[in-house]
Chain A
């Protein structure tokens, strides 16, 4: 199985698509293992961005001239690409946002008028700050109670506790599909089903899942799903919010401005329908189009192949890291997570290791990964995180191991 996967994905050919992988850092060839923070951009997406600004840059939805129509068409076509990718029922259920954080804030702000102090909002303990803080703000404003679903030592959500915590006052449940700090794949199917049994709505933060998994929002029956394009080979500053149509229609607009209106007078303004109601002002037109192109690029490779190959990288890297006697790997077993390893070396500060690795051309993430509650749980200042993408190779993992060996020798 494993060798087959490696043959099926042509890494050398794929690497040719990513010009940045040819550059050097501190005189060494770049080894980029910070993919969970942002993925690199293939030439196809870069070309798409250049093409937009060279050939049809115009404001959308309002001009009768040719450029405006071309831009509108490309932007709306991208929305359909996103819709199909996530298998949403209708393209108007896809709202282009600036990314996951924006998507979450949009929903949190919309729920303000639906919550009262007898309600409860349940957030998983594995969350990134952007799926914690907007809900804290919502609870402060409405008086609703914020409850945190605890995690186990293995970095899994405590599912038996989940059932205990759910009740008829639970109005919203928030969980990431995959944890950014540990890579854990959460049992969102079960969470969604159980939350629905008590009438709660579920928002799934898909920022870390979408680079590896192709979610089917209808099969999941999820109420809201979010992602950021820059983690799936697209540009920064664009992402999406999927919401079930009836829910999006019920939520009030997030921002006021152009594009989101139907009729405006100083006495009364009526709002546009979906998706424009949530896209006030000139949107990130080029970003939206490039986002669609990025999804096409990844689908051309195929998510099954991507997953199989990344799993192979994950297992290889885990085995090689375990060669260190003083390594501590955080989180769940390799079969329940995406290609992310969060680790530390006993007696070494992650910042020191990361600094030396960078000197050797290896881009790792160190720190709390914007998930301080998880670091507090493990009682550590942070971890070193290596996150892999389908363009990475085992040879690069060997270079990382070599760099880590050198760092250990220097620091211990």
Chain B
């Protein structure tokens, strides 16, 4: 089993302990309030992903064949979900990131946030994570 699937399973297990939506959201808000996820210098328009309502910034780096993502948002709930996505996708190999799906979001009861109709930029964020992974993968094959 890939690392990503392992982490996804961990997240699903964590969320299964919550009894209702309020506990789930309280947990996400807590995650959202934790330390900044991105360095201040990357919170500029160059790194922004435009959602309609909440802003999302993403930065990627490559270390030891693994993509390191950092990201942030101006809305706490969005930030909480970003924290989960980073935990799953960051520090993984580009090929693994490209192969991964986001079904676990549905399993932890947060499906609505990844609906394309939701104006929070998360759908575009995941697309962006995969674009970075693809770019790094291409770079590797070229080298």
**Interface positions of A (Cβ within 8 A of B):** 26, 349-352, 355-356, 359, 366-368, 381-382, 410-411
Contact = CB atoms under 8 A, between A and B. Distances in A.
Given A351-B77, A411-B29, A359 B21 contact: yes
B80 to A, nearest CB: 10
A381 B11 CA distance: 31
A356 B78 CA distance: 12
28 contacts: A26-B21, A349-B54, A349-B74, A349-B75, A350-B53, A351-B54, A351-B75, A351-B78, A351-B119, A351-B120, A352-B29, A352-B76, A352-B78, A355-B77, A359-B21, A359-B22, A366-B53, A367-B52, A367-B53, A368-B52, A381-B53, A381-B54, A381-B55, A381-B74, A410-B22, A410-B26, A410-B29, A411-B76
A411 B52 CA distance: 21
Interface string B16-36: 000001100110010000000
A372 to B, nearest CB: 11
B54 A356 contact: no
B25 A410 contact: yes
Contacts of B75: 349, 351-352
Nearest to A406: B22
A349 B77 CA distance: 9
Nearest to B54: A351
Interface in B101-123: 119-120
B53 to A, nearest CB: 4
Contacts, number: 41
Given A351-B54, A367-B52, A356 B25 contact: yes
**Shortest Cβ-Cβ A-B pairs, 7 listed:** A349-B75, A351-B75, A351-B53, A367-B53, A351-B54, A352-B77, A352-B75
Most B CB contacts (10 A, CB to CB) among A351, A355, A366, A410 go to: A351
Contacts of A349: 54, 74-76
Interface residues of B, number: 16
Contacts of A368: 52-53
A356 B25 CA distance: 8
Contacts of A410: 22, 25-26, 29
A355 B120 CA distance: 10
Nearest to A407: B25
Contacts of B21: 26, 359
B139 to A, nearest CB: 35
A343 to B, nearest CB: 15
Given A349-B76, A351-B75, A352-B78, 9 more contacts: A349-B54, A351-B53, A351-B54, A356-B25, A359-B25, A367-B52, A381-B55, A410-B22, A410-B25
B101 to A, nearest CB: 24
B25 to A, nearest CB: 7
A352 B78 CA distance: 8
Nearest to A382: B53
A411 B74 CA distance: 13
Interface in B87-143: 119-120
Contacts of B29: 352, 410-411
A349 B119 CA distance: 13
Interface in B10-69: 21-22, 25-26, 29, 52-55
A125 to B, nearest CB: 22
Contacts of B22: 359, 410
Most B CB contacts (10 A, CB to CB) among A355, A359, A382 go to: A355
A370 to B, nearest CB: 10
A381 B76 CA distance: 14
Contacts of B25: 356, 359, 410
B119 A367 contact: yes
Most B CB contacts (10 A, CB to CB) among A352, A366, A367 go to: A352
Contacts of A366: 53
A382 B53 CA distance: 7
Contacts of A351: 53-54, 75, 77-78, 119-120
Nearest to B30: A410
A376 to B, nearest CB: 14
A389 to B, nearest CB: 23
A366 B52 CA distance: 10
A366 B75 CA distance: 12
A382 B54 CA distance: 9
A368 B54 CA distance: 11
B71 to A, nearest CB: 16
